[in-house]
A and B are shown apart, each in its own frame.
Chain A
Amino acid sequence: MKKTPLYKTHVELGAKMIDFGGWMMPVQYTGIIEEHNAVRNTAGIFDVSHMGEIFIEGPEALAFADYLVTNDLSGMTRGKVIYSPMCYENGGCVDDVLIYCFGLNKVLLAVNASNIEKDYAWISENRGSFDVSVMNLSDDYAQIAIQGPASQDILQGIAGKWASLSDLGFFAFADGVLLGGREVLISRTGYTGEDGFEVYLRPEFAEQLFLGILAEGKERIKPCGLGARDTLRFESCLPLYGNELSTEISPLQAGLDYFVRFPDREYIGREALQRESKEGTRRRITGFEMIDRGIARHGYDVFDSGGKQIGFVTSGSFCPTLSKNMGLALIESEYSSKGIDIGIGIRDRITKAVTVGKPFYKKKYKKREEIK
């Protein structure tokens, strides 16, 4: 079982540890709902060191990254971050990643923990004649996410005069920033639907920074586990690879049309995705709200009002902020508009639900003009 550099810290803080794709990770410290609410109301801190860091370097680094992903990287400049699915030729999804642009000759792909080896192999074997080298440096980085409306204030308290976080825009990053006396890479990104930051740093500095941020934030910040990370991303309808995206589920089916661009350029999967876009997706990730009592869970069957199976649940949970039981399901496209009665197969019966719009919780990102 793999452990992050913060394993000991989690145990000392009383976290409940679980096996998450081969990693010993905290699922919760005091309770998922309490941690979820901390992020919505003030701030939470997450260890996400299990995530992978793959670097592409060389004269054609940015061009190669552009060839690998479905989003358009042509506007990228040093210090920008962009989200994108990365697809196979058939339009199925290898992973969804954040791309950090250091310039034309260097990019960082932040990838999902369970996909590190697969992504590294995929990227390496598609290098072709691109003049680049690909390095998996996942073990050289710890990653800490600080999320919630008080994040900036707390981190600024740690940074003091050495950095100005208000200068960091949404989906922007800065490298070599001094945070608690150590150089880190920091971006205004996250996976909770709130304003927040992700910090990449050397593993040996992780504990000091993690505890330093908790001490700085005092009652305004809580350590949060993967349980709250999942409910937070779910309420905001941010896709989870393995649930809403997979080798079988294209980004268009996942509703990520905005991140699948067809400018005048080639990339892996373009042909299949363009065809799917033109013909219309056969099935679509659709939000729903439970009408009857019950909680839909990943893998449960979905039926139309006549009892015909039309798909399956990809994620489902009680939503702490909304106090409602919601779900996301991959269902036939004709059922994907709002207000359609559907049924969820929960244990031995079909339970009533209705399709709704996404996201369930409106994201509270701070775009440039709102950052003070």
Chain B
Amino acid sequence: MMNEAELKYSKDHEWVGVDGDAAYVGITNYAQIQLGDIVYVELPEVGIEIDKDEVVCAVESVKTAADILMPVSGVVTDVNKELEDTPEMINTSPYEAWIIQVKIRDMAELDGLMNESEYADFCEKED
């Protein structure tokens, strides 16, 4: 569904797929490998407005719980309910398993995110 080359990436390992002023948000392949077997996704309520870098929801693996931070400020317009019963989709296809859809408040915030090659370099430094 998502073309990795066209996605934007945050330092907290979220990917952002932009379509006009809407964006799909998920976690990257690097993030799902770090977390291991994902067994629960706590989805936010549709309609809440959250600022960039604030906690929007959580993804839990067998071993740990990880907060998902808003990569851009905006209103949550949809959540991926399929993840309630099949959270492991994030492991098997991280770039298809979007978690939330956001209406972006300030398009300029997208400039602070990385492109695919910048993100690949960033991950290399993390290891």
Contacts and interface: CB of A to CB of B under 8 A. Distances in A.
A283 B59 CA distance: 32
- The 6 A-B pairs at the shortest CB distance, nearest first, are namely A318-B39, A32-B62, A33-B37, A295-B60, A31-B37, A227-B63
A28 B40 contact: no
Interface in B55-85: 58, 60-63, 65, 84
Contact of A294 (B37, B42, B61): B42
Interface string A8-42: 00000000100000000001100111000000000
Nearest to A36: B62
A27 B37 CA distance: 12
Task: Classify chain A: how many residues form its interface, as a range.
Answer: 10 to 19
Interface of A: 16, 27-28, 31-33, 227, 231, 293-295, 297, 317-318, 320, 325, 347
Interface of B: 36-37, 39-40, 42, 58, 60-63, 65, 84
B42 A231 contact: no
Nearest to B43: A293
Given A31-B37, A227-B36, A325-B40, A293 B62 contact: no
B37 A293 contact: no
Contact of A32 (B36, B42, B58, B65): B36
A98 to B, nearest CB: 26
Contacts of B61: 32
Contacts of B84: 293
A227 B42 CA distance: 22
A351 to B, nearest CB: 10
A321 to B, nearest CB: 12
A297 B62 contact: no
B26 to A, nearest CB: 19
B36 A31 contact: yes
Contacts of B60: 295, 318
B40 A293 contact: yes
A227 B63 CA distance: 7
Nearest to B58: A347
A293 B42 contact: yes
B39 A295 contact: yes
Q: Which of B37, B39, B42, B60 has the most CB of A within 10 A?
A: B37
Contact of B62 (A16, A317, A347): A317
A32 B61 CA distance: 10
A52 B84 CA distance: 42
B123 to A, nearest CB: 15
B40 A32 contact: no
Contacts of A320: 62
B42 A318 contact: no
Contacts of A318: 39-40, 60, 62
Given A27-B63, A32-B62, A320-B62, A295 B36 contact: no
Nearest to A231: B62
Contacts of B37: 31-33
Nearest to B65: A297
A317 B40 CA distance: 11
A32 B60 CA distance: 13
Contact of A227 (B39, B40, B58, B62): B62
B55 to A, nearest CB: 8
Contacts of A297: 65
11 contacts: A32-B37, A32-B63, A227-B36, A227-B62, A293-B84, A294-B40, A294-B42, A297-B65, A318-B62, A325-B39, A347-B58
A33 B40 contact: no
Nearest to B67: A347
Nearest to A351: B42
B88 to A, nearest CB: 9
